[in-house]
Structures are given as C-alpha cells and as structure tokens.
Structure 1
C-alpha cells in the first residue's frame, strides 16, 4: 500500500496515527466486554477505520456528519468523551441517549454528529438539510453522510442524491463498499461496475478510492470539501474496503470465502499505516509502543470512570416528559396572541384513575371563539394567511413542497409567496417526499423551522419512515427537536378516488413524539397553524380539502395562536355528545339544524395527539351518551381511542354504550354516489337515533 505524505508534517502524520489506532483498540476492548456480557450488541468496524477517521479529520469540527454502525472513528475523532461513549454502549442513563438507544443510534449537537436510525438511508437526506442551512446562512461548510453498499439500493439514496444535485447543496456522500450487505455480496446488489459511476446520472462528480489508505481518504475528502464549497455542489465518494468481522458479532462470517480474509488482512488500514510510519522514520518501535500504551491506559481509565456512573432507572414520568421538546418563548417579528389558558394534556398511554380524573363541570371555552369583527374568510384563506404571517414572524422558516413556488401549490395556498419571500424560503421540490422530510430535520439541526407540504395527505405514505422513525423519535433519543410542520390536504367528498381522498390521521396518532392537528373552521385553522410553527416538535397539520372553499367564518387580521392539545366545545347540550373533528363538525351541525329538538353537546377535538381528555370527560358528564364521529374508516380509527378512553375513565358517567360512526371499511370509491354511501355522514342520523333510543 502506497502512502503519499504530500504536505503533511511528521506531527500531523503521528496525529493521524493516534486517531486511527484509537477506534481499533476501543473495538478490541469492546469485543472482550461483549464476550463478558457487559454489552449486548456490537457492530464492528475493524478493517474500515481509515474511512471514518480520514473523513472526520478532513472536515471542520462544526460541520455535520451523519455516521453509520461502523463509524466509531467519527465519534472518537470528534473527541467525544470515551467514558460517556461507554455509558452509551452499556445502555446507561449517563450515555448520550440515556439508555434509550444502543451503539451509534444517537447524536450530539455539541459535536455536530447526527446519529442514524436502523433504516439504512434516511440520514443522507438529513445531510441535505444541514447543507441547505449552510447555504442559506452563507456559511462555507459542507455536510457529510455515510452509506454502505447495501444502502445504495434504498430509495432514500436516490432521493437524497437527487435533491442535493437539484438544489446544488454542498454535501459529501461517502459509500463504504465493504463487499457485503450483512451476508449478501455486492454481485447480488447492483450491476454497475462501481457505485461511484452512479454520480453522473445525478449530475454530480464521483470517485472511487482505496478506503483502507487513511492518507488517500484524508486527501480526497479535503479536496472534495474544497470543491463542494467552491462550486456549491454535492460529490459522491466510493471507498473500497472490507469488514473483518460480521455485520454484527452474532451474525458471524461463515459466508465469507477464506481467501478474502487473507487478501484484506494484507490491506489492514492500521497495520499498513503503522508500517509506513516506521519505514519513513516518522516513528520507531518504541514510539509505536508508547502511543499504544497511552491509548490503552486512556481506554482503561475511561472504562473505570464509566463503571462509577449512575445506573438508576428513570421514572416513567421522566420518560414521558422527554417525548416532546418543551415549548420555548417565541420572538416573532409580528405580535402573536396566545388564545386560551394552558391545559395540561394527558400523554397518550397514561391512565387516570377515577379519583385523579378532572371534575365533570364544563370549562368555559368561549375564549377560543373568534371575535366578531365583520371579516369573513374562507378556510383556505385562513391557512394561507396563517402561513404568511408565520413566514413574517419567523425569518428562519423555510417552505418546501411540490409546485409551491410560482404555481402556488396544488390548492394555491402559497400563491404569491415566492414573490414576497424568495425562492430560498419557498422551495419547489422534486417528487422526493422522504428526502424532503429528512432535509426538514436537517434544517432543524441548524436552528431553522420548516414546513413540508404534501400535495395530498395520501402521498405521505412514501415519507412515512422519516416521520415516524426520524422526526418523531429524535428528541426522545438524544434531545434534538424536530421543528417541522407537515401540511396534509386530506379527506373525501370531492370525488377524487382512493389515492387522493384518504383520511390518514390515525396512521400517526399511535406514534409518540408527533403532534396531530385537524381544524374544522377558518379561525381554528389559522390559530392552530401559527401555533404549529411556534411549537418545536413535529406537527402534522391536516386540512380537509372539501372545507377549503366551502366553509367561511370570522377571522381576525392579526396573528394569534390557539393552544395545541385543547378541544373546543362548539355547542353545549344535555342529551347526547357528538365528539368529532374536521368535516365531522359540519356534518354534526347540519344534523342539528334538522333536529333542533335534540339537545346535542358538540365537541370539536381539533388536536388528535395529544387528546384533550379534560374536555372529553366534561362532555360525557354533560350528557351520559356519546357518539364518536369521524370521516376515516372505522377500524383502528381515532374513534377507537376516544371510545376506549371514555370506557376506561368515564364508565360511571355513561347511560349507554359509546357508539362510533365512521366511514365504511373500504378504500375511498371514486364514483360520487358510492363515495356518499362510503362516508360516515350517510349513517350519522341513524347512529344518533339509535343512541337516543338506548
């Protein structure tokens, strides 16, 4: 193996040696601890250290890196305290994720490292987001994301590279090609000669290098970094290497031909670089022994320090408290009025005993009603106005979505925005929902707020992983907020068929870490949208398409925020409660107009996660009979959760079983007559009469 020392001094070469040997010796110690049962799992990077170490040395300390399982050298080169890393690997509360994650599934803002999730590929789009933030800030920085050869088959790989190329983002994508995806050899993964050849198809440069030569990696990434900053373009680097152990220790290496081990043992990155330093006279044998002795002493000292750490179990309340990022004071360019006093929402999954349940008396919720000022606006106008005022109030807010710039979006909600706020902040996207959601998370890492508009709520399915596994879990995992709003035009009643009319909100109400908002009036739509942008957590904001231009209402001109997690008592009554949201509110009001003899207590949930259980209980107490109404299909819908909560906590208040009224358990049909039959509205009157007669 030839090492070209170029301009590097002896001191720099020795510093690189220390950085290279450290992760190797840590891993050798970790394998011992694994056999002793002190850690539960280990993904070994032995044989691949030169890539992580060389790439990390080539970057500035404040440039984001998105590593993978076998990139211990990233963490050590960024000088993360080893005792805290030991706590992390042992699942202790003093680790970076407080025992909530294992191995390298964590990050650290201090060290500009964003850890992976188990799904290979999503972290590449996060690098797009941090690179976009750098570009918007005018900062001469790059972001770097790692990917394995197996991960290049993921759709996230394509989407991330495509977005980086289209948006001219300074991202370095590194493929660690070690010949196997777990046990599947590369000949069964792709057909191109080299994975770097794919770069041309995305309109970017690419190169294949020896990933076991630390100086080659360091020199290449330094040059690529300069190129990415100068040209404001991405770059793909394929590093050829080999892992000398299994995908993880339990999987073994029986599937690897013995001759491959012999070949790659001769290419060991640590042994070859050490031999180079000896032959070049940079180090002698005593110098090597001294460095290795110092590293061994450091590892043992840090391991001993880790042994004295706190291993107590965090109480359940602390675990629940860390699911969401706490709200912080918002400094806005325009005044924002917070409407409604704080209400402590009960987190999903927490049971209240009857003694601890709130009193049944109905709270005064009239404060959430719009002031009458003769300014009537449509539902769609309210959303557009709330979005515009949020853009004015948050200069760090970036909007992303298909056709949202000059075209104004599929429903024209952002029409004129690009002329006001510019293309940097109002960004058309390729059809890459997963990558754009990942980029939104990356923007959060750099302190930006972002909105992703799904053209239709149905299309969120292709970005599902980023929402439920990256955005939702990141604060719980390592304290990083995901300051992202996802707008989702939803619902049926417009004859759009099974792929443009689905009610997908229940897909997400089961996911801790998300907030799910679903307004029914212009006043609520504007106030809750502004609140969503003020909130540092990921908020899914559902907007019913059929309400866009059919519903109007009083709308204050100034910016105001309604509290997320608080329901609205639309009408109070004594005979029957209808608990609903979205279009269901208007269906219920229409029914009530036809049956003024029935005293209906109508509760608009407005927020589906977290639920306002205080308001639900108060409504149940007022009537004793409850109908839960929603447009989504019956099985597994939000109504099931509401009904279960009432049955568990309000049984003593009920005079009849809780009844659900929902749409049929079929896909949404296209034909208008079939769709009418499908929708819950068709069965509302019958359901109410059945409950009244009980």
Structure 2
C-alpha cells in the first residue's frame, strides 16, 4: 500500500481513506481487481428513508472516493440493467478495474413478513400483483404507486409484445408456467418436514456429530467422562542456537505457501519490501512476493477477502497486524466465516493470524486478549501455541483445516531466547487441532494454561519440585476445539487445579474451564478450582501498571503452594 507514483495525497487525509484509495488504484504494473459491485437501492431501510441516512444524492457517487467509476440506473428496466452490467463486465475483463452499479428501485413489501402490516398499513393476502398501501402504513404512497407501475415483469412483457417480439398467447403461456413453478416450489417448502431435533449442531464444523445436552450428575454420563492422562509431551528442549517463535511461524507460513498454490497471505503491510509489522514474513518475500499481498487499512476488508477467497476454493492466510484490530472486522468472522457452513453447507478454509498479548508495555490497543471474544462462537477454531515447534506444526494443521482457524501468536514469545527450539528444515507433520500437551507430569496439583503463561507454569512447577511438590502442567495448545478429556484427566489425577492465563479473569476462558472441571470432576477434587488472570481493567501502557495488571510469576507460585497445602 503506497501513495500513487505521481501525486501524493494530502497528509491531513485520514489514513483509512488514503489506503482505500491506493487499494483500488494500485501502483503501476499491478493488476486491478476485475469486479462488478451491485448496490440495490430500494430507498428505505427498515423504515428510515435514504434521505435521512446520507447526504449523497446517489450511492454511486460514493464509489468515486475509492477511485472506482459508479453509475446509477433504473433497476426496473431490464435493458438498462443488461447494458450496464455488460459494460461493467467488459471493463473488468479488459483490466480496467472494478465498477459500482447502483440499481434504483423500491421495496414493495415490509422489511420482513412481520413488517408488512406496518409498511402497508394492512396485512396483504397472497397475490400476483402489488397491494396498495393504506394511510396507516409508513410506505410513501406516491412513490409506491410510481414504482408499482414500473414493475418490470408486466412492463417488459408489454414492451416485448408491442415490439412484436412475442405474442399475447405466448406471454400467457409463460406466465402460467412461471406461476405454476412458483406455486409448486412454495408447496414443496411448506409441506417439507421439519428437521429432526436430534441433528442439532450438525454442520457447525466439518464432520461434527450432533450435539446434545448432557446431565453430568447422572452416573452413566459421569462414567462416560472418565479419561486417562495424555502421554507426557515436554516438546523439544530449549536450544539457544535454535529457532525463535517468530521464525517458526514464518517457516509454517512458508511451508504452506510451498506446499499448496492455493495458499496466499493477505494483510496490512505484509508484502512489498516490509514483511509485516514484526518483519516476520520478510524472509518469504523473495520467493513468494506475488502471493503475500498488501491490503488496505481495513480489517473487515481483510477478513472479507479471506472469506470470499475461501469460498472460491483458495486457502487464504489473513493477518491482523495486532489481534486488537480484529474488532473492526468482527462481523466478518462471527456472522460470516463462522456461520457459512451451518447456513448453507459451504466450506470456509481460512486462517487468521492474530499477534496477541501483553508483557511488552504496549498499552490497551496492542496488548489485548481477544480469544474470549471468539471462544463462544460456534464455527471458529482457536489455536494458541506456546513453542516454536508447535507453532510451525499447528500452522500446517490450521491451513489444511476445512474450517476457519484463528491462529494466536503471543508477541512476547516472538523473539524470546528462552523458548528457542531446534527445528528440522523439512516441514513437520501437522499437529492435530484439539489435542493438549502434558508438558510435565505430577500428582499433587495440575496447572493448566496456554500461550506465554505455559512457560510461567513450567518454571513454577520446577521450583515446586525442588520442595517436593509435583505439579502437572497441561498446555492446552488449542482452545477450540478444547481437549476436554485431557483437562478432566488432569483434574481427576491431581485433585487440585490451578488455571492460569493473562486475560482478565472475569468472563475469561479460565472461568469456563473451571466450570467444566467442577461440574464434571467434582467428586475427584480436593480443593476449589483456582483461576488466576489479569485484573478487570484495560491493559495499561505504563510498565509498573501493566506489571500490576498481569498475574506475576510470584503470584502463580504462591497460589500453587497454597493449593498444594489445601
């Protein structure tokens, strides 16, 4: 994303607008997006007319702000519509970039069926013609009558008949065939049986079984929840000459680009000569520069492009420069990416890289923990690796996954020499999502964490061991799907559980994990489940305040010792 070669924009312009302009008017030699955007302007929102929403005379004028030509046409004239879209499509095919076509028409019914009474002032009966609104409705009666007279179906039929293109008898045949087709489809839908309630949840994720309510206090249900401890998996040892966490993520992205031509990277400042805000992608630019693409400064746009590309069979890796910025793209993730498979069965195989976390004195807009925002969103998977080895192997699994995956990378781990590991040059086997790692065995208590605080837990456990207290450490690695079996196995095996994360405790994932443990492993517990998290404040910028906000290693150790003595 750069300024146009010949004319720089005024510096006082909002960067959002400057970058959007650059995004649709790329640098010389860069191909332009071959797209046609259609705006159906039916002149009313639920009830608010366009004149009360925008000062623009027509919506096509808004396209000019993005360097895109826009035209406004009569949306009820089939020939105008055909000509406009033929022209716009030809522009796109010729490499001249996108076009916005605004079709002006009018909504002839309520916003939804329940709104017909309010819009029209009366409850309309099924009919092949438009009902006239009454004075009690909020529809503009004069405008409604004007547009009803322009109904393109009878209007175009009259035009074709007047031109001699089609005879009256043939029109009658076509109308009867169309009405019969509509009536048959309506009847099929009305008479179709409701789905079996036992199928609830099928289709949220690929290959998922039906979901059901489980009464955990029933003996049979409780017996079915029993599970053995996962095998010990300390991971490769720390190697001062090894790869950093940042390098491992880069290698994982490179592995994916190398293995599958459908993979591409899209985000702010990821391409060109920069390689992302942390320079993470810079080593890949020479080999994959044409597939590491800069986006406008618009997180919703980044995610929207990824959703669309995934639907078209690509494997996009989107990047949020910092995970905090995903707030402006929330709708694309929660209401589009997460729900598309459930709504119509399409696959959305995309990865969103999410640099996250505190411990760096970066303040409330570059340090948040956004993983709880999406933890309760069915249809999204959440990965939180804590080691270079896992970051690379989990990236392979995330890119191959048929569902959207949020890939959280703790920024404090990026260049931390204390977590370096030796990695093979060859791409590793994908590490299955939903499988936790038992980093340390122990029977006196279990410490459960994810991300950077896994290393806090491991250091605390080593100090406890020096005093004869053996603590198990479980690295969740994936929050969704959650390895409930490993979680409950650690609780049952140790009888005492300490959940640690840097996110604020209230409403955090730790409280959810504690609820699962106390409900499903209560009879095995010898102490209350303890949750340690950050304070309920925004992440402070001041170093002393951030240190007071975050749970300290000393605090985790003190809580673990108290729990062991309980």
Q: Give the SS at the match of 1:227.
A: helix
Matches of 1:421 and 1:471 in 2, distance apart? 26
1:153 matched to which residue of 2? none
Is the 8 Å Cα contact of residues 518 and 608 (structure 1) preserved in structure 2? Answer: yes
> Paired residue for 1:531, among 373, 376, 397?
397
Once the two structures are superposed, the pairs formed by residues 291-330 of structure 1 within 5 Å of their partners are 291-306=174-189, 309-315=192-198, 318-326=199-207
* Cα distance, 1:281 vs structure 2: 1.9
Shift of 1:590: 2.3
Q: Which position in structure 2 is the counterpart of 1:658? A: 529
Q: Which residue of 1 aligns with 2:283?
A: 416
Q: Which runs of 5+ in 2 are unaligned?
A: 1-15, 120-136
Cα 1:609/1:212, change in 2 over 3 Å: same
Q: CA deviation at 1:178?
A: 1.9
2:266/2:316 contact within 8 Å kept: yes
Identify the residue that residue 335 of structure 2 maps to in structure 1. 469
Quick check: 1:355 aligned with 2:227? no
* TM-score normalised by length of structure 1: 0.71
Q: For the structure 1 residues 409 and 476, does the alpha-carbon distance in structure 2 shift closer, same or farther, using more than 3 Å as the test? A: same
Partner of 1:581: 450
Q: Does 1:556 align with 2:424?
A: yes
- Equivalents in 1 of 2:111, 2:402: separation in Å? 36
Residue segments in structure 1 that go unaligned for 5+ positions in a row: 1-155, 328-343
Q: Following TM superposition, by how much is the alpha carbon of 1:530 offset from its aligned partner in structure 2, in angstroms?
A: 1.2
**Residue 165 (structure 1) shift:** 5.1
Q: 584, 587, 590: which one pairs with 2:459?
A: 590
Picking from 670, 674, 678, the partner of 2:541 is 670
For 2:319, the equivalent position in structure 1 comes to 453
Taking structure 2 as the reference length, the TM-score comes to 0.86
Aligned equivalent of 2:126:
none
Q: Could you tell me how far apart the structure 1 residues matched to 2:339 and 2:232 are?
A: 32
SS at match of 1:422: helix
Deviations 1:553-606 (A, max 9, x none): 232322121111000000010111101111111111222333322211111111
Match of 1:205 among 69, 75, 79: 69
Correspondence for 2:11:
none
Distance, in Å, in 1 between the alignment partners of 2:355 and 2:371 is 11
Structure 2 residue 347 is the aligned partner of structure 1 residue 481: yes
User: Cα–Cα, structure 1 residues 347 and 457, in superposed 2: closer, same or farther, change >3 Å?
Assistant: farther
CA–CA distance in structure 2, aligned partners of residues 375 and 396 of structure 1 = 33
- Counterpart residue number, 1:195: 59
Change beyond 3 A, Cα 1:508–1:304 = closer
Instruction: Indicate the residue corresponding to 1:504 in structure 2.
Output: 370
Partner residue of 2:493 out of 622, 635, 654 = 622
Deviation at 1:187, TM superposition (A): 1.1
Give 1:376 shift.
1.9
CA drift of 1:515 comes to 0.6
- Equivalent residue, structure 1, for 2:5: none
Any conservation in 1 of the 2:351–2:405 contact (CA below 8 Å)? yes
Answer yes or no: is 1:234 the counterpart of 2:98.
yes
CA 1:678/1:306 → structure 2, altered by over 3 Å: closer, same or farther? closer
Task: Map Cα deviations across residues 233-278 of structure 1 (whole Å, 9 max, x no partner).
Answer: 1101111211222222322322223222232233222222122122
Hey, what does 2:565 align to over in structure 1? 693
- The answer to whether the 8 A contact 1:159-1:435 is kept is no
SS at match of 2:379: coil
Aligned length: 517
Matched, 1:568 2:434: no
SS in 2 for 1:630: strand
Q: Is the 8 A contact 1:516 1:609 kept in 2?
A: yes
- Residue pair 1:570, 1:604 contacting (<8 A) in 2 also: yes
1:478–1:157 distance in 2 versus 1, CA, 3 Å: farther
Partner of 2:36: 172
Q: Cα–Cα, structure 1 residues 501 and 307, in superposed 2: closer, same or farther, change >3 Å?
A: closer
Deviates more, 1:514-523 or 1:546-555: 546-555
Q: Is the 8 A contact 2:21 2:65 kept in 1?
A: no
CA contact (8 A) 1:373 1:556 kept: no
1:434 to 300, 308, 318: 300
The 5 Å alignment of 1:93-172 reads 163-164=23-24, 166=26, 168-172=32-36
1:417-462 Cα distance to aligned partner (Å, 9 max, x none): 2211132x10011111101111111111221101111111111111
Find the aligned partners of 2:146 and 2:97 in 1 and give their Cα distance.
36
CA distance in 2, matches of 1:599, 1:614: 21
Change (3 A) 1:242 1:321: closer
Residue 350 and residue 680 in structure 1: after superposition, are their counterparts in 2 closer, same or farther (change >3 A)? farther
